[in-house]
Amino acid sequence: MDPQTPGRLILAATPIGNAEDASPRLRRLLAEADVIAAEDTRRLRALAGRLGVEVRGRVLSHHEHNEQATVGELLAAVAAGSTVLVVSDAGMPAVSDPGFRAVAAAVQAGLPVTAAPGPSAVLTALALSGLPTDRFCFDGFAPRRPGERARAFGLLAREPRTMVFFEAPHRLAAMLADLSAALGADRPAAVARELTKTYEEVRRGTLGELVAWAGDGEVRGEIAVVVGGASDPVEVSEAELVAEVLARVDAGERLKEAVADVALAAGVPKRELYAAALAARGR
């Protein structure tokens, strides 16, 4: 540690299952870092043990519930010349895991930030899905509430890129059913579970087929869902969009919210759709 020289904040990817995927650089950083901010300190020490690495630096708990409170301590260590390593339980920090707030704060403070890239459940699932990989988007975990989840998927019905999601095993069947209802039962998709682990499985098919499969029994493990994008964008008339807005209003949604969602999904001006919906309600 050199107080005269700012240290570095380093985001380091950890194995998503197979410890042999750990890079030599990760091993070195675990051994040399002054401070290690870990999502789960016990899992970090277990990983270090499997890698044969002795952790000499100070280990801090840094997870979604205390991330905002610990960022200041991490940046103070960087400013004092320390090498601060941020790791999640698996994969790349800041991707559906803690790390974003620390990076944003370090950038704002003008402190050095870098990454030691490595395993990623998002990219692994995408590569194994058999679906187009040239353009894709990552949408994280779907909303837990059925109504919010259905609305979120409705906004993605015309998305042309391949989509990647994470999901908990006990919500997978409901998620796939909502995806099928919003995107169509014939939309190609894949469910990847336990990637790089002993019981790795990638189930490919249409959303309708995957709904039937997931409903046959409990699917276990860490899961990523990959869904093909809309192949042929469909031109939708203003009358159809207005009908969709009014149907959502009849179901209890506020007019402005319904217009905003439908306009965003269709790629049309919100103001014009709102005026058309008001005119239709006044008839």
| Cα four-point dihedral sign 39, 45, 49, 51 | positive
Pair of tokens at residue 213: 């499969």
**Can you tell me the mean pLDDT for 240-253?**
85
User: Over the stretch 99-157, which tens digit does the pLDDT of each residue have?
Assistant: 999 999 999 999 999 999 999 999 999 999 999 999 999 999 999 998 899 989 988 98
Spell out the residues 6+ positions from residue 164 whose beta carbon is closer than 8 angstroms to its own.
122, 125, 126, 136, 137, 138, 139, 224, 225, 226, 227
Whole-angstrom Cα distance, residue 137 to residue 122? 10
> What pLDDT is stored for residue 283 in this prediction?
61
Band (pLDDT 50/70/90 cuts) for residue 4 is: low
- Give the 3-state secondary structure of residue 229: coil
Whole-angstrom Cα distance, residue 102 to residue 86? 9
> Quick one: angle between helices 255-266 and 238-250, nearest 10?
140
Pairing of strands 35-38, 83-87: parallel
- The CATH code belonging to domain 129-227 is 3.30.950.10
Residue position matching structure tokens 């969009």: 241
Please answer whether residues 126 and 23 qualify as being in contact, where contact means their C-beta atoms are separated by less than 8 angstroms.
Answer: no
Nearest to 225 by CA among 248, 209, 247, 202: 202
The domain defined by 8-119 folds into: Cobalt-precorrin-4 Transmethylase; domain 1 (3.40.1010)
Q: Where are the domains of the chain?
A: 8-119, 129-227, 238-281
User: Over the stretch 45-95, which tens digit does the pLDDT of each residue have?
Assistant: 999 999 999 999 999 999 988 888 899 999 999 999 999 999 999 999 999
Asked whether the predicted pLDDT for residue 203 surpasses 80, the reply is yes
Q: Tell me the CA distances in angstroms from 273 to 155, 156, 260, 264, 269, one per residue in order.
A: 16, 19, 9, 11, 6
| Cα four-point dihedral sign 227, 118, 106, 111 | negative
> What pLDDT is stored for residue 5 in this prediction?
61
pTM: 0.80
> What pLDDT is stored for residue 80 in this prediction?
94
